[in-house]
Amino acid sequence: MAPFFSILPVLSLLPLLSSAAFTDTLPLRSSLSVDKHQTDTLRSPNGTFTCGFHSIYDNAFTFSIWYTNSANKTVVWTANRDRPVHARGAVMTLRKGGALVLTDYDGTVVWQREGDPAGVRYAQLLETGNLVLKNSRGMVLWQSFDSPTDTLLPSQCINAATKLVSTTGLHVPGHYIFHFTDSSILSLIYDDVDVHEIYWPDPDNGEYQNSRNRYNSTRLAGLDEMGNFVSSDFANQRAIVASDEGHGIKRRLTLDPDGNLRLYSLNNSDGRWSVSWIAVSQPCNIHGLCGPNGICHYLPAPTCSCPPGYVMSNPRNWSQGCSPQVDINCTVDQVQPVQFVPLPGIDYWGSDQLHRDQVSLEACKNICRSDCTCKGFQYNQGSGTCYPKAFLYNGKAYTAPTKSARMMHLKLPMGVNISGIPIPQTNVLISRKQHPDCGQMNASTMEPFPYVHKANQGEAKWFYFYGFAGAIFVLEVFFIASAWCFVLRWELGASEIQAVEEGYKMMTSNFRRYSYKELVKATRKFKEELGRGGSGIVYKGILDNSRAVAVKTLENVRQCEEEFQAELSIIGRINHMNLVRIWGFCSESSHRMLVTEYIENGSLANILFKDNILLEWRQRFNIALGVAKGLAYLHHECLEWVIHCDVKPENILLDRNLEPKIADFGLVKLLNRGGSNQNVSRVRGTIGYIAPEWISSLQITAKVDVYSYGVVLLELLLGKRVLDLAVGADEEVHKVLRNLVGMLVHMLDNEESSSIAEVVDCRLNGQFNYMQARTLIKFVVSCLDEDRSKRPTMESIVQTLLLADESCSMC
Ligand SMILES: *[C@@H]1O[C@H](CO)[C@@H](O)[C@H](O)[C@H]1NC(C)=O
Ligand SMILES: *[C@@H]1O[C@H](CO)[C@@H](O)[C@H](O)[C@H]1NC(C)=O
Ligand SMILES: *[C@@H]1O[C@H](CO)[C@@H](O)[C@H](O)[C@H]1NC(C)=O
Ligand SMILES: *[C@@H]1O[C@H](CO)[C@@H](O)[C@H](O)[C@H]1NC(C)=O
Ligand SMILES: *[C@@H]1O[C@H](CO)[C@@H](O)[C@H](O)[C@H]1NC(C)=O
Ligand SMILES: *[C@@H]1O[C@H](CO)[C@@H](O)[C@H](O)[C@H]1NC(C)=O
Ligand SMILES: *[C@@H]1O[C@H](CO)[C@@H](O)[C@H](O)[C@H]1NC(C)=O
Ligand SMILES: *[C@@H]1O[C@H](CO)[C@@H](O)[C@H](O)[C@H]1NC(C)=O
């Protein structure tokens, strides 16, 4: 019997012997020591992860797991995040009883985990990055995956009981949390003693608008090997997809020190991380960034500032925000005289004490004046809504034109001198350097060219706004990154800067330059023509990786190479499910081409007017909604405030599921910039769809797209081309449209339900949703308003259509 027993210890050492240099296993009664932290480590079987002591300061270590190959030891899990151990004498031991115990130099137990104490035989670092305690049968009794820190790895799950908590620059847990809320919605939350607020998904929207589903209380989320992140509350189980989706890439989902959640991919050759998805693309939307009373604004780099009457609390640390120069004394019996300072465009999200509808500005002031704890109020002129606030958190200066109605009124003691103190504002108007070798780039010749907004007379400025909607897309800006880091360098520690820098590094692998030869081959010498437009011919192509693409040859490109690429680098990052994705470009000698996603079902024009496929009502409504979303994104949310200028059914493509995707956005930026005008009308819009202000040569705004969208809506309803109702000149079409609109207005006024059926495409045989049709008709009327200021914004159209869609999906 004796020889048999002596084999047992050897068996438990077998895993140790399987790899000469590294082991993944820590047997019972053995330990890892900080004194030998270079060699005393566990390494996962294929070497992806290492586990051991990790130095955070000269004399302080944590027990952590990190990516072996990452340039700066990217830590994915830490046992003792809030209590580092000394550089000498600390050990992690798997004790005889099965407890895994971390002790400091003096023997203090800093951290410990017991599995089923009796059963634990060894600890093992798995290839997934999971540190587990196993029993003799290999069953897992405890795993580090159940108590994540700030990072989620592929195959790891977040459930009702787990959460990610950010790590600050001082290597301690921060105030940002990623977990399931009580209503089972996976959220990003800012949490400190005074505030507990959700900032992702967008708190201004309902679950439905955020594509979340509150009726699934499974509360389970996880990242898979392909780069898909799914959660039980995502509507239709639709995943968040890494922009470099695919096997064989090492990833992590990390809640960074700046409160943003990012999905990273590792470049194995240089150990650097690139971002393949980001939760909040406009940093000012992250709560707590500028601390109490602070205001986040874009210059265009995100910046924190104090409002008038306030000063920065701690000049080294923005998270402590601003404090009032003079406090209002609430203990005084009689009410102290106060003044209200209007802060246009600024809102402090949340912390409303109450809300009153339909009160005058004066009444709102009185409400705030009489309550000593009131720090100011938000007042909505239109609805007369008054929101007095007791705390001023999440101050943000809005940019989008539609949000300009926001006005914060700050309450300050009477004596405080605020004259000459600037009000923080988002300044998205930045001067754009003119390229000296692009002669035609001249402010005076560009009017009324779109994108140019004459902020100050005679000075062409570029409207520029970044961010992004939807959960599935990545877009970041290189040149913002440097400015952003410059701003933050002041306030954040070194590792926070690093995270921010990594976070803002653009993931460019999906947008690339193609050689002319490659495209000749892909299109088989430009054999299969898909379509022709004012800007060029589109061909179908198949790339080497057998991906189908559309290759568009651009005529009339007059820009120099540098400028062409600069524009492309912006357009190429625009990414939204209702916009055709641009994969790359070719720019060689005189060839200028765009390589875009190939969309299976061709254009809306082909299907609606030519093919004999009948679009059902549901599909038409979905197209109206999708196009509105795409345009709203271009107008309000994307990188640069882009006006499409040529919205028409030809430029709306339909994918396999008849989901619309807008093509040719941003083309105006590439073509024929203000120069010779023989093709101007083609570039600048299409007869039948162009707004009246084109003709009166007023300055062009996003409202030209709203007008064209109105025409497209009308065509979706009628199933006919508006142009076919008129013949000849543009004035003619215009007249026909005016008559039609007049008729529709009359119809809406008289609530004639029968006549709505007469308007809607007769091929539908009356199979349509009356309420939705009415909503669309109302939009046709308002979008086609001669007075562009009366046309709605695409953003508000989306909101209304979503509601119309929702109310229907519920009935
Ligand atoms: C380790 O690498 C080998 C060879 O590359 C691979 O076949 C195996 O699946 C990997 N093991 C794990 C656990 O990833
Ligand atoms: C690693 O850290 C050092 C010092 O903090 C820094 O200079 C270097 O750029 C970092 N490397 C990467 C790849 O981030
Ligand atoms: C809830 O989510 C889980 C996990 O994603 C899914 O398997 C389940 O079918 C969902 N339940 C309902 C009622 O949608
Ligand atoms: C990985 O890093 C190497 C070296 O810096 C670089 O050449 C390569 O392009 C990178 N790969 C990706 C996919 O970014
Ligand atoms: C900044 O202030 C916050 C809140 O008081 C604190 O938690 C954080 O550690 C500070 N950061 C630095 C770098 O001092
Ligand atoms: C508030 O006013 C009262 C009475 O004038 C005074 O005693 C008290 O010190 C004041 N408190 C502050 C914080 O200024
Ligand atoms: C307020 O401040 C401005 C500029 O700092 C100064 O010119 C002005 O005289 C001050 N007004 C009063 C009443 O102190
Ligand atoms: C640019 O505009 C200025 C006037 O603003 C004009 O003098 C100059 O000739 C223009 N340059 C070009 C290349 O058109």
Looking at CATH, the fold of the domain delimited by 24-146 is given as: Agglutinin, subunit A (2.90.10)
The class of domain 293-434 in CATH terms is alpha beta
Looking at CATH, the fold of the domain delimited by 602-811 is given as: Transferase(Phosphotransferase); domain 1 (1.10.510)
Range with top average pLDDT, 398-407, 734-743, 770-779: 770-779
Q: Which of 146, 118, 116 is nearest to 130 (CA)?
A: 146
**Cα 313 to middle of ligand 5, angstroms:** 12
45 pocket-lining for ligand 1 (C-beta < 6 Å): yes
The helix or strand, by DSSP H or E, that contains position 583, with its residue range, turns out to be strand 582-588
Tokens of 759: 């308007």
Q: Render pLDDT for 51-72 as a digit per residue (tens, 0 to 9).
A: 999 999 888 999 999 999 998 8
Bridge partners of 266, per DSSP, are: 273
The mean pLDDT value for 706-711 works out to 95
- 547 vs 180, which has greater pLDDT? 180
Q: Report residues whose beta carbon is within 6 angstroms of any ligand 8 atom.
A: 439, 442, 444-445
233 is catalytic: no
Q: Render pLDDT for 26-54 as a digit per residue (tens, 0 to 9).
A: 999 999 999 999 989 999 999 999 999 99
CA distance 643 to 565: 19
Instruction: Assign 684 a pLDDT band (cuts: 50, 70, 90).
Output: low
Q: Render pLDDT for 461-511 as a digit per residue (tens, 0 to 9).
A: 222 222 222 222 222 222 223 233 333 333 333 333 333 333 333 333 356
The mean pLDDT value for 595-624 works out to 89
DSSP, collapsed to helix, strand or coil, labels residue 329 as coil
CATH of domain 148-281: 2.90.10.10
Q: What is the pTM of this model?
A: 0.60
The mean pLDDT value for 106-132 works out to 88
* Domain regions of the chain by residue span: 24-146, 148-281, 293-434, 515-598, 602-811
Q: Render pLDDT for 432-456 as a digit per residue (tens, 0 to 9).
A: 322 222 222 222 222 222 222 222 2
**Cα 328 to middle of ligand 6, angstroms:** 9
**Cα 269 to middle of ligand 4, angstroms:** 7
493 pocket-lining for ligand 5 (C-beta < 6 Å): yes
Distances (CA, A) of 102 to 64, 186, 423: 11, 32, 52
**Cα 416 to middle of ligand 7, angstroms:** 10
Q: Would you say residue 18 has pLDDT above 50?
A: no
Q: Which of 55, 17, 209, 81 is nearest to 795 (CA)?
A: 209
Identify the nearest ligand to the CA of 176 by its number: 5
DSSP, collapsed to helix, strand or coil, labels residue 352 as strand
**According to the CATH classification, is domain 515-598 in 3.20.20.150?**
no
Residue nearest to atom 13 of ligand 7 (CA): 417
Q: Which residues of 247-279 are buried (b: 16+ CB within 10 A; e: fewer)?
A: eebbbbbbbbbbbbbbbbbbeeeeebbbbbbbb
Question: Using an 8 Å Cβ cutoff, are 313 and 322 in contact?
Answer: yes
**Left, alpha or beta for 337 (phi > 0: left; psi -120 to 50: alpha)?**
beta
Which ligand 7 atom is nearest residue 417's CA? 1
The mean pLDDT value for 751-757 works out to 74
Distances (CA, A) of 279 to 82, 263, 503, 779: 26, 9, 11, 32
CA distance 522 to 218: 46
- The set of residues, in sequence order, having a beta carbon less than 8 Å from that of 174 and lying 6+ positions away, is 165, 166, 167, 168, 257, 259
Q: What is the residue type of 491?
A: E
657 pocket-lining for ligand 6 (C-beta < 6 Å): no
- 541 vs 665, which has greater pLDDT? 541
- The set of residues, in sequence order, having a beta carbon less than 8 Å from that of 724 and lying 6+ positions away, is none
Share of the chain above pLDDT 90, in %: 35
Bridge partners of 451, per DSSP, are: none
Calculated CA dihedral for residues 760, 761, 762, 766, nearest 10 degrees: -50
Catalytic residue, candidates 646, 664, 761, 805: 646
The mean pLDDT value for 716-744 works out to 80
pLDDT value at residue 682? 36
Testing ligand 1's pocket by substitution, the residue of 43, 44, 46, 69 carrying the most ligand atoms inside 8 A of its CB is 46
Q: Report residues whose beta carbon is within 6 angstroms of any ligand 3 atom.
A: 216, 218, 220, 232, 237
Q: Render pLDDT for 359-408 as a digit per residue (tens, 0 to 9).
A: 899 999 999 988 888 999 998 877 788 999 988 988 888 754 444 456 89
pLDDT value at residue 384? 83
CA distance 300 to 428: 6
pLDDT value at residue 449? 24
Same fold, 24-146 and 602-811: no
Identify the weakest region by mean pLDDT among 289-293, 495-499, 801-805.
495-499
Q: Would you say residue 620 has pLDDT above 60?
A: yes
Three-state helix/strand/coil letters over 110-174: EEEEECCCCCEEEEEECCCCCEEEEECCCCEEEEHHHCCCCEECCCCEEECCCCEEEECCCCCEE
Phi, psi for 226 (deg, rounded to 5): -80, -15
The mean pLDDT value for 757-766 works out to 86
- 669 vs 106, which has greater pLDDT? 106
**Cα 72 to middle of ligand 2, angstroms:** 6
Identify the weakest region by mean pLDDT among 77-91, 291-305, 518-532.
291-305
Phi, psi for 619 (deg, rounded to 5): -70, -40
Identify the nearest ligand to the CA of 229 by its number: 3
The mean pLDDT value for 650-673 works out to 80
- 707 vs 417, which has greater pLDDT? 707
46 pocket-lining for ligand 1 (C-beta < 6 Å): yes
Distances (CA, A) of 236 to 163, 230, 303, 644, 808: 23, 10, 37, 30, 17
The mean pLDDT value for 199-204 works out to 85
Q: Would you say residue 349 has pLDDT above 60?
A: yes
173 pocket-lining for ligand 5 (C-beta < 6 Å): no
Q: Would you say residue 206 has pLDDT above 70?
A: yes
pLDDT value at residue 468? 26
Range with top average pLDDT, 88-92, 583-587, 725-729, 766-770: 88-92
DSSP code of 502? H
Mean pLDDT score across all residues of the chain: 78
Identify the nearest ligand to the CA of 73 by its number: 2
Tell the burial category of 63 from Cβ atoms under 10 Å away from its Cβ (0-12, 13-18, 19+).
buried
Residue nearest to atom 5 of ligand 6 (CA): 332
- 116 vs 425, which has greater pLDDT? 425
DSSP code of 579? B
Share of the chain above pLDDT 70, in %: 77
Q: Would you say residue 679 has pLDDT above 60?
A: no
**Cα 248 to middle of ligand 2, angstroms:** 25
pLDDT value at residue 333? 62
Testing ligand 7's pocket by substitution, the residue of 412, 419, 421 carrying the most ligand atoms inside 8 A of its CB is 419
Tokens of 554: 């651009």
